[in-house]
Amino acid sequence: MKTILCLQPNQFAFEERAYPSSIAGNSIIAIKRIGICGTDLHAYKGNQPFFSYPRVLGHELAAEFVEGHAPGFSKGDLLTVLPYKSCGTCFACMRGKTNCCASLSVLGVHEDGGMSEYLSIPNQLLISSGGLTLDQLALVEPLAIGAHAVSRAMIQEGDSVVVIGAGPIGFGLLHFLKLLDIKLMVVETNEFRLNFCKKEFPTVECIDASKNDVIDCLKDLTKGNMPSIVFDATGNLTAINESFQYLSHAGTYVLVGLQQGALSVLHPEFHKREATLMSSRNATHSDFHFVIQAIQEKKVQAENMITHRMHFNDVINEFPRLYTTGNALMKAMISL
């Protein structure tokens, strides 16, 4: 079977591998869609944390069941994959937080992922399609990241919420935040993403940080209180550090994006707010099912996020062009 291997930064290569062997507790799936996320883009460029080479990328997957003994699945069934392998015995797992298992292994990051024609997957990581299309199924994982973070924040009536960054993770947040009765704002510097956001989420207040004083704008929009919930969806250290000053007293700052450096917080400013700082990592089975139900009920329609498409056979040539799109990239999708 054909597999795409990231040998080292900026270098893909096709590799012919054997069809997966039958393993007790696993099933074999045929990959049909692979969503490209920031992790893949950073890994290809060599600046992704927790990453080593060579590696087969790809963890936003839509697939077809081929063979195995997974309960509820038959040959030809469509599905998506929870790409996080957890140990089941550490403190986090025992608390039901398998998404941040102490020995977590993520497909396409810590071990080989889905840029392959076929893949052997533990049965418990297979999630039925619920009637979703292949494109929708490949979007479930990034949307679940947003759904999980929104759940983590424990948003209440009267909260005002700002999302820093209107990229794919920011859009995942916005899709679920817009379902709540809250004041919702987004801060972005990329004109394409701001316009995309205004089109997809017309009720969200969009702030162009390249042209406006963000603090003044947030004060005006929150009647001087500042946002009670701040989500970082940039994974940019400068943006993260600057965003601490956007937080209200008694507010919560949620780190969804990931970067490699150390945070810098002025302790007295954070302390006097009695603020809460939390991270949000990956997603759980329940998040995936929540997203699938939201798509089924048409509460979330995310296919417009797909701005670029390529075929599996063209990835080696087409993938580098994603970095030269004039900042007009939201979500790229690979088809097999």
- First vs last C-alpha separation in the chain: 12
Average pLDDT of the residues in 247-261: 93
Does the pLDDT of residue 49 top 80, yes or no? no
Same domain? 102 vs 54: yes
Q: pTM (2 decimals)?
A: 0.94
**Cβ-contact 312, 2 below 8 angstroms:** yes
Residue 235 forms part of a structural domain: yes
Helix (H, G, I), strand (E, B) or coil at 163: strand
Write down the pLDDT at residue 288.
98
206/198 Cα distance (integer angstroms) = 7
pLDDT digits (tens, 9 = 90+) for 34-46: 999 988 998 898 8
pLDDT digits (tens, 9 = 90+) for 56-100: 999 999 999 999 999 999 999 999 999 999 999 999 999 999 999
Q: How far is CA 312 from CA 96, 137, 282, in A?
A: 36, 17, 26
Same domain? 308 vs 229: no
Which structural domain range is residue 233 located in? 146-279
Write down the pLDDT at residue 234.
93
296/136 Cα distance (integer angstroms) = 10
Strands 229-232 and 252-255 turn out to be: parallel
Same domain? 242 vs 326: no
Q: What is the 3-state secondary structure (H, E, C) of 115-157?
A: CECEEEEEHHHEEECCCCCHHHHHHHHHHHHHHHHHHHHCCCC
Structure tokens at 243: 């965003």
Give the list of residues 6+ apart from residue 212 with CB closer than 8 angstroms, or none.
none
Average pLDDT of the residues in 290-317: 95
79 residue type, one letter: L
Same domain? 98 vs 173: no
Write down the pLDDT at residue 284.
97
Write down the pLDDT at residue 326.
59
Q: State the pLDDT confidence band at 261, using cuts at 50, 70 and 90.
A: confident
pLDDT digits (tens, 9 = 90+) for 169-216: 999 999 999 999 999 999 999 999 999 999 999 999 999 999 999 999
Same domain? 320 vs 252: no
Residue 285 forms part of a structural domain: no
Give the list of residues 6+ apart from residue 59 with CB closer than 8 angstroms, or none.
37, 39, 81, 83, 106, 107, 108, 109, 113, 114, 141
Residue 294 forms part of a structural domain: no
Same domain? 28 vs 116: yes
| Number of neighbouring beta carbons within 10 Å of residue 225 | 16
Does the pLDDT of residue 325 top 80, yes or no? no
Buried b (16+ CB within 10 A) or exposed e, 297-328: eeebebeebbbbebebeebeeebeebeeeeee
Residue 67 forms part of a structural domain: yes
**Cβ-contact 107, 113 below 8 angstroms:** yes
Does the pLDDT of residue 316 top 90, yes or no? yes
Residue 71 forms part of a structural domain: yes
Same domain? 107 vs 168: no
Which residue would you say has higher pLDDT here, 235 or 246? 246
Give the list of residues 6+ apart from residue 116 with CB closer than 8 angstroms, or none.
1, 2, 3, 4, 17, 31, 56, 58
**Cβ-contact 204, 180 below 8 angstroms:** no
Which of 130, 183, 137, 167 has the alpha carbon at shortest distance from 297?
Answer: 130
Mean pLDDT of the residues in the chain? 95
- In CATH, what number is assigned to the domain containing residue 29? 3.90.180.10
- In CATH, what number is assigned to the domain containing residue 266? 3.40.50.720
Same domain? 119 vs 153: no
89/83 Cα distance (integer angstroms) = 18
Residue 296 forms part of a structural domain: no
Same domain? 123 vs 239: no
Same domain? 252 vs 328: no
Residue 260 forms part of a structural domain: yes
Q: How many structural domains are present in the chain?
A: 2
Same domain? 34 vs 112: yes
| Number of neighbouring beta carbons within 10 Å of residue 136 | 24
Residue 46 forms part of a structural domain: yes
Same domain? 46 vs 97: yes
Please state, for a pLDDT cut of 90, what percent of the chain lies above it: 89
